[in-house]
Structure 1
Amino acid sequence: MNVFGLLNTRLQGALVKQGFTTPTEPQVKTIPAVLAGEHVLLIAPTGSGKTESAVLPVFNSIMQKEKEERRGISVLYITPLRALNRDMLSRLEWWGEELDIKVAVRHGDTTTYERQKQSLNPPDFLVTTPETLQLLLTGKRLRNNLKTVTHVVIDEVHELASSKRGAQLSIALERLVEVCGEFQRIGLSATVGMPDEIGRFLAGTGRSCRVIEVSLTKRLDFSVICPRPGAKDVESSKKLMCTPEAASHLRVISDIVGEHKSTLIFVNTREAAEMLGSRFRMLNIPIGVHHGSLSREARIEAENSFKTGILRGLICTSSMELGIDIGDVEHVIQYMSPREVTRLIQRVGRSGHWVGEISSGTIITISADDAAESSAITRKAKAGEIETIDIHENSTDTLANQICGMALDFKELAMDRIYSIVKRAYPYRDLKIELLRAVIKQLGDTRLIWVEEDRIRRKRQTLQYFFENLSMIPDEKRFEIFDIVSGRTVGALDEAFVMDFARPGAVFIAKGEMWRIVELITEKSMIKVEPISDPQGEIPNWVGEEIPVPYEVAQEVGSIRKHIAGKLAAGEGAGKIIEDYRKEYPADSEAANEILELIKKQVKAGLTVPTEDTVVIEQEGVTLVLNICGGHKVNETLGRVVTSLLAARFGASVAMEIDPYRIKLELPRMFSAERLRELLLTTSPDHVEPIIEMTLKNTQLLKWKMVHVARKFGALSRDIDYERISMKKLLDVFEHTPMYDEAVREIFHDKLDITRAREVLGAIQGGHLKLITQPSSPIGEAGFMGGRELMAPERADSSIIMALKNRIMDDHVILFCVNCKKWKSSKLVKSVPERPECPLCNSRLIAALKPWEEEEIKIVKKPEKEKTEEERKRTARVYRNANLVLSQGKTAAIALASRGIGPETASRVIRKMREDEEEFYRDILIAERNYAKTKRFWE
C-alpha cells in the first residue's frame, strides 16, 4: 500500500499537485510511525524527502482538528540553522497555503510587528531556533500559546546533540512538557554513529524512540587521487604564484568542475577556501567561495549564483554540510582529507539528490599521510564505521542558565521539582543532587535568584541575565592580524584559536600565507605578525579551524603503513603492492604510489616504520619526534603531559607541535630519545589527568574558558575585559566552584582524550605497543604539512624586504635643524634630499625624527638650565641623530624612520647600505621585530 493513502484526502490532493505520487524510502518508513504517535528519529540523506517524511503526518494531525479548535501553536519545528533554509521555508509555506494551515517563522531577525501578530494570533506551525524557544517559554502570552503543542520536530538533531546548544534544548523541551504535557518528538538527522544514543537524546530519559535509518553509504561512490604536476603546471605555477603541486590541484579541480553541471568543493579551512578562490579568480574560472567569515549578502549571492548555474563550482567549508538550499549538486570534491567519516558522508551526500542516484565524490590529496588518511576514511564510510557523537554530560553553565529559565517560568519552585525536570533531559540523566545544589548555591551567591532552604524564586536580575544569555554559543571577539612589515591588516582570527594557540614565536597560516607572531595585544584585540621569510623551513603551529582526526582513523593509517612495509619486506614489487592496495581502497595509482614511496624510503634507510602498534621516538639535535598514530586528541593529551614533565626538568618551556601521527618537541637543550623513552615507561597513566589539569592552570585557554563559563553563570558581566583579570585572581575566586570544574570539563571534552591517552600509555608500559628509538626518518619528517603546499615557493626574503622598504618610504619623518632650532619640515621618507640642509641657516645639522617625536623639539628648544637630567639625555640623543644625518644623509633618515630604531641601532645598520641594500633592510626588519617583542617591558 502507498503510505500517502494513510493521509487526509486534501493532503493527498496537494501531493498530486506537487507531482509526488510515489513516496521515497524515508517517507515509507516514517509516515506510519509518526501517525502511530511514536517518538521517531529519522536518519536519512539530504534531498531524500526527509523534511516531508516528518511534516506530512504532522500536517495530517493539525487537519484533524476543527479550524476553531486551533487556538495556539500545534507544532514547533526547531532548526539549529540561524540562516534558515529558504527552500525548506518556501516549501512549508506552500503546504500551509494549500492546506489552510498557518505556518510562521520566529527567530532573532523577526520584526516586532510580526512577533506581535504571532502572539495575538498564533500560527499552527512555528519554525524557530533553540534560542527563540527560550523566549517563547518565558513570555506570558507566548507561553500560553504553547499549551496546545502536540508535536516538536527537531531538524539536524545530530548537530545539536554534540553541542551545549543541544544540552540547553534538552532541558527546554522538558520545561515545555511542564506547559503542554507530553508531546510527540520527531528528529531529523544526518548519518551518525550510535544512532540509538541520538534517539535517547531526542526522546529524553524514560521514553522510547523508534530509530529509522535510511542508509546513504550504499549509494556513495568515492575516489582518492593525488595529482602530480606536469610541465604545464610548472609553467602556470609561476603565473599563479604557487607551487607546481598546487597548480596541478587547481587544474584537476577545474577539469572536474568542467565535466559536471554543478560541483561543491569542500575544504577544511577558510584559508584554503580563500587560497583556491583567489587563484580561480586569477584564472578567470567561474568558481565561487562560501564560508562563515563572509557577509550574509556574499553568502546568499554565492548560493543563488550556484543554484542558477552562473557558478558551476562553489568552494565551501563546513558551512555547507547542513541543509542550505543550493539546488542540485552533481559532484563533490573534497580538497585534502575530510578528517572524519561523518564529515565525508555529509559532504559527499550533498550530491546526487535524485531517487536511486549515486552520490559521488573525489578526494584530492596532497601527501602520503593525506592519501592514507583519506583511504582509511573512505573504507570506513563504505563499511558504515561512523564516529559516535560525544554529548555534553552534566554541563553546569547550561544547567545554571536553565535554572534561571525555570525561575522565570514558575516564579517560585522547589529544588526537588527542578531536579525531576532536569533529570528527564538525557544529558542530565545521571545528575547528582549535590551538583544541582552547588549550581543553585552559585546562582544565589551571584544574586541571580533567591535561594531559601530548598526553594528558589526569581529576582529582577533573573530576567536581565536570561535575556542576555539565551544562547550557549560563546560571545567571541575577533583578533585583527597586523603585519608589522607592510603596516597592513591581513585578516582576523577567532578568539578561541588565539586563546588556545597564540604566543610570540608561534607560526600560523592566514590567507594562504604563513606568519610568525611577534606580539599579542589582547586589550586591542590585535596580533602583530611578520611574514615568514622561508616558508619551507617553518612548521605552522596552527592552521585555523583544524578538524581533529579521530583515533580510529589514525590507527588505520598505521595499519596501512604496516601492511605495505610487510609486503616490501617480503620482496613484493611496487606494481603488485599498488594493485592490491587499490582493490581494498578507492585510490588512484598516484595516491597509492605516494604512500608506497614514503614507506620505501623509510625501509631503504633501515629504519622502523611507525604503525598502529609501534611507537617510534626520533632525534635530530634538540628536536624529538614521537611518531604515534593516535589522532589529534590523543596526541594533544600525551604531548601536553610530556612537555609538562620535560619543562619541569629543564626549568624552561618546551615547544610542542602535533599532528595525528606525530608529536614534535623542540627542547631548550639536548635530551636523548632514550631518556624520553624512559620517561614514557615510568609515567603512571593515572597521572595523566592531574598533570593536564595542573598545566592548564597556566594557559590562556583555561582562563578564556573560565571567563566564558563565568559569564554564562552570570558571575562576570558580558562586557568585562578579561585581560584586566589575572589568572591568579580567577583561580582564587573560582577554583573550587562548579564554574572551574565546567571550564576544565569542556576543555577535556573538546580538545583532549584523557581516557584513550591513559590506555595508550598503559599499552606502551605493558608491551602491547612497541616503543623504539632511532635517528630522524623520512616518515618523521613528512608531517606538519599544515597547508604548506598552498605557499608560493619563492615568497622568500626579497618580497618581504620590498614590502618593508615601500612602507618606510611612505612613512613621514620630521626634519629639524638643531643649529638654528627654527626650521622643521614634515616629509615622506622618499622625498628626503640625499643631503638635507636648513633653508634658514644653511646648516646640515638636521635631525630626522619620527612623527610622534614632536615633543623632542620642544625639549631641545628649552634653555639648558631649565632642563631636567632626563631632558638633557633626550637632547643629547637628538644631537646624535643629527650628527648621523650629517655624516650619512638620507640613508640615516631611512634607518631613523623605522620603528623602535634610535641613533645607536641606526649607526650599526647604516654601514650595510653601502655593501648590500637588502642586508640593510633585513637588519632594520630584525631591529623592528626586537622592538615589537620587547617594547611592552620598557614602555
Structure 2
Amino acid sequence: MHQLPVETPSKIVDRYFDSIGWKPFRFQRSVWRAHQNGHSGLIHSATGTGKTLAAWMGPILRWLKENPDRSRWNPKRPPPARVIWVTPLRALAGDTEASLRAPMEAIGLPWRLESRTGDSKASAKARQVKRLPSALVTTPESLSLMLTHERLLSQLSGVETVIVDEWHELLGTKRGIQTELALARLRHLNPQIRTWGLSATLGNLEQAKDSLIGVNPCGPVRIIEGYKKKRMTLESIIPERIERFPWSGHIGTKMVPQVADRLKDVNSALIFANTRSQTEIWYQQLLRQRPDWAGKIALHHGSLDTTVRRWVEDGLRDGSLRAVVCTSSLDLGVDFTAVDLVLQIGSPKGAARLLQRAGRSGHQPDAESRLAFVPTNAIELIELAAAQDAIRKGHLEARPLINKPLDVLAQHLVTIAIGGGFDADELLEEVRSSRAYESLTDLEWQWVLDFVVHGGSSLTAYPDFHRVERNENRYTVTQRRTMTMHRMNIGTIVSDASMKVKYLKGATLGSVEESFLSKLNEGDRFLFAGKLVSLVRVKDNVAYVKRAKGQPDSVPRWMGGRMPLSSELSAELRLKLEQAADGKLVGREMQALKGLFDLQTRWSALPRSNQLLIERIETRGGHQMFVFPFEGRLVHEGLAAVFAYRISQLQKTTFTMACNDYGIVLQSPHRVRLDEVICEKVFSTNDLTADILNSMNSTEMAKRQFRQIARVAGLIHPGYPGQRKSTSHVQASSNLFFDVFQEYDPDNLLLEQSRREVLEFQLESSRLFDALERIERSEMLITEPPKVTPLAFPLLVDKLRERISSETLGERIARMQQQLEKAADQSS
C-alpha cells in the first residue's frame, strides 16, 4: 500500500481559505513567515482586512509543522497552553473566540479554546487554574489576575505566543501599562515568547511597537503593514435648512426623519452616537418616527446587561435587526458582515475614530465601507470636511503615551508578590524591560517597594497597609484577606460607582452611575435600555424599577462623554476655514455652509491658520470677548482659565467663561484692553504651568485625580461584590489620605503623580503649550462685529445654559436667533 503524502501546513491553511472563498493576502503571509522565524511585531491594517487571521494562523502553522502526523492528533488530549489572546473588552471575548474557533475546527486542530473574563463562570475559572486550555482569550485584568496564581506560572512559561488585539485602544491608557507589565512577566517566564499586536488607524506606530514588545527584545521585531486604505464612501446627511446661527445640539433629533429615510434602503446599519445618553434618546426618537420598526431596531452600550448586549449582537450577525443605535461598545473587533451602512451622529472628534467606525460596515477585505455623517449642529459639517482631508493625507491621530505611573506599578508588585513572590533586583530588571518604566529610577523603585510593604512613611503604624512581607530580598504576600481583596479589585478601570438597574420582578437591564440615581426621587421616570421606567426604590445597591408611561423626567448621564477634538483634526479644521476665507468651498459640506461663511465674513472675519480671531461685542450681559483658537474643548478650558487669570493680573476685573471645541468666551463687566503689551503677556508660553495651577482650583482637581490613583494603588477599595461602598464613602476615604499625605508626607510620589495627571489628562498641558506657542506666532485679528456672529453664537448659548433652565432656554435661543436673522437680512 502506498502511504498518502502528508499535506504541508501551508497547503492546509490555503485549503481553509479556499473553503471560505478568500485568498491569503501578501501581508498575512508575511506575518506567518515572520512568526515561523521567531519574530515578534505589530500588524497594522485597516478595519475588516484580515488582521485576526494574520495573527492567528502563525501559531497554528507552527503547531502543524511540529505535528505533521494527523493520526497522533487527539482532541481528548489537547496540547497544553500555547497561545494567549488579549482583547481590550470582555464584551468582545465571545466574538473573538468564535472567529478563532472557525479555522481551528475547519482544520480539525485538536486544541482546546476557551475564554477567561469577568463574565466567565466560576467553575470555568477554577478548571483553568488547574489546567489552561491550548489557547485562551482574555482581558488585561484577567491576565493580571492569572499572575496571582502561583500554580499557573509553570503553565504560562510554556506559552509560545501572546497576541494583543486592538492595541491602539490600550495604548496610552493605564490598562495599556497594565498589559505592558503583564507582557514583561510572560517574557520573564519564557524569554522566547513571540508577542504580536493588532492595530488599525494609528499615527505613532514605532512607539506602539516599542510599548508592545518592550525594550531589548530577544528576537527581531517587525511592523507589518496590511491594507492602509480600504474602499470607503463618506457622505453627509445635510440638514434641509442650514441656520446661520447654529448651536450645540440644536439639530440633534431634528435629523431623525432623514436618518429613518436612509435606513429604509439598507439591510442592516450601525448608528454611532458619542454618548450613552445620546443612544437612548435617538433609539426612542427613531421608534417614535417608525413604530413599525419595534423589534427590528435595538440599542447597545456598555452599561447594558450582558444578555441584552448578546441578543443585539446575535441579531446583527443573523441580519434580523435593521439598525442598532450604539456607542463605541461596537467600535471594536466584532465582525458583523451583515452591516452595510454606518451612521455617525455628531462629530467623532478624530479622523482615526471616523475610519474605525466606517470600517464596521463592509467588514470584509474586498467590500466597500460606507459611512453617513449626521451633524448635531451645522458647524460640525466643517469637521467632517476636515476629517476627510486628514484621512486623504494620512494624518491619523497618535496615541500619547503615559510614563511610569506608580499606582499601576504598586498594584503589579502586589500581584507578583501574591503569585509566588519576587526578588527585588530581578523584578526591577523585568519592570525596566517595559517601555513605560524604562526610565524608572532606583529611588522611585525603592519608594514603591516601601509603599506596598508598610504604606510609605506616613502609614507605617497601620497594619492594613502592610500588604507585602519582606524576607531579606524576597517579597511575598501570606495574608488571605490581602489576597482576596487584591484579586477582587485588580485592574485600572476606575469610574463612578455604579448600581444595577433591575425590574421589580424580572430581568436586569444594566447599570447606571450612582451619581445619577442619587438625584432621582421615587417615581421619577427615566430612559434606560431603550425603555421608559420609573424608580421604585433603591436597596442593597440595586435600583428597582418598573415600566412607565408618559415623558421621561431625565436621561442617564454617564461619565466619559467629553471627547476632545484631536490636534490633527484641529489643524485640518483651521485649514478648511482658511480655504473658506479665500472663497474656496470644496465639497458638499463646505458649500452647504456658504450662507453662514458669508455672514461671518461680513460681520467679522474667517481666520486663516496663521491668525487668531478675537471678537469683541457688548451685550446686555456685559462685555463679551470671543477667542477662536480651534484647539478642542479640553485645551480651551485650560486656555480660558489662564487668559482670565493673566488679564485680571493686568487689569482689575472678574470673568465668567464658557468654551466649546472652536473657541472661548470671556464675559466681564468692564471692557478689556487689548493693546500690544497685554496681548504679548496674555498669549505667552512663559510661566504657563505656574499660571495654570494659579488659575484653577488645582488642589481640588488633584484630589479628584488622586481618588483614581488611590483606588488603583490599593489604598482604598470599593468593597465586596453586593456590598459596594457608596461614592461618598470612597471619596471621603481618598480625601482623607490626600490630606494626610499633604501634611505628613508632602514628598509622597502618588501626590506628585496626581498633580502630573491633572496637567496631562484633564488639562492636556502639552497640547495647551503647543497651542499657545502657535498663538504667540499668529497675527491677532481683532474685530468688533455689530452683532453676535455665527461662530460666536454657540458659545453664547453654552454660557446661557449655565444660568437658564432647559424649558426657557429653547425659547430664549429661538428669540435670539430670530433677532439675529432679521439683522443679518437687513445688513445684506
Identity of aligned residues (%): 24
The one-letter code of the counterpart of 1:603 is T
Report the AA paired with residue 321 of structure 2: L
The aligned residue for residue 926 of structure 1 is none
Query: What is the number of residues matched between the two proteins?
Result: 718
Provide the residue aligned with 1:602 in structure 2. 600
List per-residue Cα deviations over 1:165-204 (Å, max 9, x = no partner): 1101111111122223330011111221122221111111
For residue 799 of structure 1, report the CA deviation from its aligned partner. 12
CA distance 1:38–1:85, change in 2 (3 Å): same
- 1:530 aligns with none
Q: Is 1:85–1:325's contact at 8 Å kept on the other side of the alignment?
A: no
- Equivalent position to 2:401, from 391, 400, 409: 391
User: How many angstroms apart in 1 are the aligned matches of 2:699 and 2:331?
Assistant: 33
Distance 1:635 1:795, change over 3 A: closer
| SS of residue paired to 2:794 | coil
Match of 1:448 in 2: 467
Task: Give the deviation of 1:128 after TM superposition.
Answer: 1.4
Alignment counterpart, residue 554 of structure 1, candidates 570, 588, 602 = 570
**1:454, distance to aligned residue in structure 2 (A):** 6.6
CA distance in 2, matches of 1:20, 1:163: 38
Q: Which residue of 2 aligns with 1:102?
A: 112
Alignment of 1:412-451 (within 5 A): 412-414=422-424, 416-446=425-455, 447-450=466-469
Contact 1:628/1:662 (CA < 8 Å) preserved in 2? yes
How much has 1:372 moved relative to structure 2? 0.9
Superposition TM-score, scaled by structure 2 size? 0.78
In structure 1, the gaps of 5 or more residues are: 231-241, 482-490, 503-508, 512-523, 527-540, 568-576, 583-587, 801-939
Do the aligned partners of 1:734 and 1:740 also contact (CA within 8 Å) in 2? Answer: no
3-state SS in 2 of match to 1:217: coil
In 2, distance between residues paired with 1:786 and 1:334? 24
Residue 324 of structure 1 aligns to a residue whose secondary structure is coil
Question: 2:304–2:511: 8 Å Cα contact kept in structure 1?
Answer: no
CA distance 1:367–1:118, change in 2 (3 Å) = closer
Partner of 1:251: 257
State the partner residue of 2:234.
222
Q: Deviation at 1:746?
A: 2.5
Structure 2 CA distance for aligned equivalents of residues 654 and 115 of structure 1: 57
Q: Which residue of 2 aligns with 1:837?
A: none
Other-structure match for 2:793: 782
Q: Give me the TM-score of the superposition, normalised by structure 1.
A: 0.69
Q: Specify the alignment match of 1:124 in structure 2.
A: 134
Q: Does 1:211 align with 2:213?
A: no
Q: In the alignment, which residue of structure 2 is the partner of 1:756?
A: 767
CA–CA distance in structure 1, aligned partners of residues 783 and 78 of structure 2: 74
Between Structure 1 and Structure 2, the one with more helix by share is 1
CA shift for structure 1 position 715: 2.6
- Check the 8 A contact 1:220/1:358 in 2, yes or no: yes
Deviations 1:626-672 (A, max 9, x none): 221222333222123234446778999744322121112344x3242
Name the amino acid aligned to 1:757.
Answer: L
Instruction: Select which of 58, 68, 76 maps to 2:84.
Output: 76
After superposition, the Cα gap between the structure-2 partners of 1:22 and 1:417, relative to the gap in structure 1 and judged at 3 Å, is same
Q: What is the CA–CA distance in structure 2 between the aligned matches of 1:704 and 1:510, rounded to whole Å? A: 29
Q: Return the alpha-carbon distance in structure 1 between the equivalents of residues 249 and 384 of structure 2.
A: 22
Mapping for residues 304-383 of structure 1, pairs under 5 Å? 304-383=314-393
CA distance in 1, matches of 2:341, 2:627: 39
Q: Does 1:617 align with 2:618?
A: no
Q: Is the 8 A contact 1:646 1:654 kept in 2?
A: no
Does residue 1:276 correspond to 2:282, yes or no? yes
* Partner residue, 2:156: 146
Residues 182 and 45 of structure 1: CA distance in aligned 2, closer, same or farther (over 3 Å): same
Q: Quote the offset at 1:161 in angstroms.
A: 1.3
TM-aligned CA distance change 1:195 to 1:698, over 3 Å: closer
CA contact (8 A) 1:229 1:247 kept: no
Give the CA deviation at 1:398: 0.8
How far residue 742 of structure 1 moved from its aligned partner, in angstroms, is 1.9
Q: Per the alignment, do residues 76 and 218 of structure 1 end up closer, same or farther by CA in structure 2, a change over 3 Å counting?
A: closer
**1:247 and 1:203, CA in 2 relative to 1: closer, same or farther beyond 3 A?**
closer
The residue that corresponds to 1:906 in the other structure is none
Equivalence for 1:689:
689
Q: How has the CA–CA distance of structure 1 residues 633 and 497 changed in structure 2, closer, same or farther, with 3 Å as cutoff?
A: farther
In 2: Cα distance, 1:124 partner to 1:694 partner: 56
Structure 2 residue runs without a partner (length 5+): 1-5, 68-72, 243-247, 456-465, 502-509, 520-525, 529-540, 544-556, 719-724, 812-828
CA deviation after TM superposition for structure 1 residue 275, in Å: 2.1
Contact 1:550/1:632 (8 A) holds in 2: no
Aligned residues of 1:158 and 1:190 also touching (Cα < 8 A): yes
1:21–1:624: structure 2 CA closer, same or farther, 3 Å change rule? closer
Which residue identity does 1:558 align to in structure 2? R
2:630/2:662 contact within 8 Å kept: yes
Higher RCO by CA contacts (8 Å cutoff, separation 6 or greater): 2
Aligned 8 A contact 1:228 1:248 in 2: no
Following superposition, the deviation at residue 152 of structure 1 comes to 0.6
The letter for the 1-side match of 2:439 is: D
AA aligned to 1:346 is Q
**Displacement after TM superposition at 1:544 (Å):** 6.5
Residue by residue over 1:491-532, the C-alpha shift from the partner in whole angstroms, topping out at 9 and shown as x without a partner, is: 997589999xx9xxxxxx999xxxxxxxxxxxx999xxxxxx
Distance 1:247 1:799 in 2: 14
The residue aligned with 2:417 is 407
Please name the residue that 2:634 is paired with.
633
Larger Rg computed on CA atoms: 1
CA distance in 1 between counterparts of 2:676 and 2:794 reads 20
Quick one: which of 717, 736, 745 aligns to 2:756? 745
Alignment of 1:696-707 (within 5 A): 697-698=697-698, 700-707=700-707
Which residue does 2:209 correspond to in 1?
A: 199
- 1:750 counterpart letter in structure 2: F
The corresponding residue for 1:476 is: 496
Residue 297 (structure 1) aligns with:
307
**8 Å contact kept, 2:664–2:795:** no
| AA of the residue aligned to 1:658 | C
Question: Which of residues 541, 564, 570 is equivalent to 2:580?
Answer: 564
1 CA distance for matches of 2:374 and 2:49? 27
Paired residues of 1:618 and 1:624 also in contact (CA < 8 A): yes
Equivalent position SS for 2:283 = helix
Tell me what 1:908 maps to.
none
Q: Residues 689 and 510 of structure 1: is their aligned pair in 2 closer, same or farther, counting only changes over 3 Å? A: farther
Is the Cα contact below 8 Å between 1:617 and 1:673 reproduced in 2?
no
Distance in 1 (alpha carbons) for counterparts of 2:122 and 2:250:
56
RMSD: 4.0
Q: Deviations over 1:831-876 (max 9, x none)?
A: xxxxxxxxxxxxxxxxxxxxxxxxxxxxxxxxxxxxxxxxxxxxxx
AA aligned opposite 2:716 = L
Q: Which residue of 2 aligns with 1:463?
A: 483
Shift of 1:131: 1.2
From the superposition, tell whether residues 73 and 689 of structure 1 become closer, same or farther in structure 2 (CA, over 3 Å): same
The Cα of 1:32 is off from its aligned counterpart by 1.9
Q: What residue is the counterpart of 1:841 in the other structure? A: none
Distance 1:542 1:357, change over 3 A: closer
Preserved CA contact (<8 Å) 1:709 1:743: yes
Q: For the structure 1 residues 295 and 40, does the alpha-carbon distance in structure 2 shift closer, same or farther, using more than 3 Å as the test?
A: same
Answer yes or no: is 1:56 the counterpart of 2:67: no
How far 1:763 moved relative to its partner? Answer: 4.3
Contact in 1 for aligned 2:47/2:359 (Cα 8 Å):
yes
Deviation by residue 1:117-149 (Cα, 9 ceiling, x = unmatched): 333343211111111111222212222211211
